[in-house]
Amino acid sequence: MLAGCGKGSDTAKKDSAPVANRAPDAADPTIAKVNGVEIRQSDLSIAEEDLGQNPPSLSPDSKRDYLITYLADIMLVAKAAEGKKIAETPEFQNRLTHLRNKLLAELMLQAETKAAVTDAAMRKVYDDATKGMASEQEVRARHILIRVADQTDEKASKEAEGKIKAIIDRINKGEDFAKLASELTEDPSGKQNGGDLDYFTKEQMVPEFSTIAFQLDKGQISGPIKTQFGWHVLKVEDKRSRQPPEFEKVKDQVQTIVMRKAQADFITKLREEAKIERLDKPAAKPAEVPTMKAPEAPAENPAEEPPETM
C-alpha cells in the first residue's frame, strides 16, 4: 500500500519517522498518536503535499482520515525498519543525503522566489511582453459556415457554395447577419453567439479567411470564401490595434514567469561560482530561462490552431 502512495524516490524521506514527541505548540495541535508518538497538524500538511494528486477528491473529513492513516502506516513501517537496522545501511544513508539536499534546495528556491516576486518585477515582465502589441492590427468579425466534410467532393462543395450565396442574398436584402448565423451556421459555437469570432490577428486564422477579413472595412460583407472547413461568409464588425490583456487577468501567469526566472538566475549564478567537474564528459550547458509569450485571442473556427496564452 505504501509503495503506491508516495512519489517515486521520495519514499525514502518517509523512513525518517518521528521518534519522540515535540514541545507543545498551540498553533500546531496534536491530531493523533501512534504508539505514543504524536501526529501534528503540520504533519498532515506535509503528508498532503507529499501525496500530490493522490488521494482523489475527498470530503474534508475523509481526507483528514486518509492522511492520518497514511502517516500512521509510515510511522509503523519506519519503526519496523529501525528494528531491522535499515537506517544504518549505505543505501539509506545515500538516499537520506540526497533527500536532505533536495529539501534544502527547494526551501532555498522558495525563499529566493518569494523575495523576487514584487509588483515592480511583475509589472516589468508584463510591460515588456505587451509593449509591441499596439502595432499589430485586429479584426472582429462574424461568420456563417456551411461545412464540406470531404474537400475532394466537388458536388458537396458546390452545394455548400450555393447555400452560402443564398445566405449572402438574404443578408444583402436586409436580414440580420447575427440572426442568420444563429439559425444557419454549421459552426457549433457560432450558433450560440451569432457567429461572433471576437477579435483576432491575421495569423490566427487560415489565410483564405484572414486575407479577406483584413481587406474589408468595418461593416462590409464578404463574398463566398472557401477554406478547409467549407464555405463562409463574414461580416467585419470592428478593426483596432491589438489590445493587451489586463494585468490583473494575467497576474498569476506573470508571477509564475517571475518565479521561474528568479530560480533560473539564482541557479545560474551558483553554477558560475562553482567548480563542477564532469569525469565522464564535458558539463552540459545550463538550461535556457523560460520566456513569456504574449497572449492571443481565444481560438474559434476558422482558426489555424489554438493560440498560446501568456
Alpha carbon distance 13, 102 (integer Å): 11
Q: Three-class SS string for 259-277?
A: HHHHHHHHHHHHHHHCCCC
In the block, cell 481565444 appears at 298
How much is the pLDDT for 310?
Answer: 44
Strand partners, 234: 143
Which has the closest alpha carbon to 5: 50, 44, 59?
50
Give mean pLDDT in consecutive 10-residue pieces for the chain, a chain of 310 residues. Answer: 38 43 84 94 91 78 92 95 94 95 94 91 89 81 96 94 97 96 94 95 94 96 96 96 85 92 93 89 61 40 45
Domain formed by 133-241, architecture: Roll (3.10)
How much is the pLDDT for 221?
Answer: 97
Residues of the chain with CATH 3.10.50.40: 133-241
Task: Take residue 73 and report the three cell numbers written for it.
Answer: 502506516
- 262 and 113 in contact (C-beta within 8 Å)? yes
pTM of model > 0.85: no
Q: How would you list the strands of the sheet with 137-147, edge to edge?
A: 196-200, 137-147, 230-241, 225-227
Question: E strands within 51-136?
Answer: none
CA of 302: how far to CAs of 164, 192, 231, 240, 308, in Å?
Answer: 16, 16, 11, 20, 16
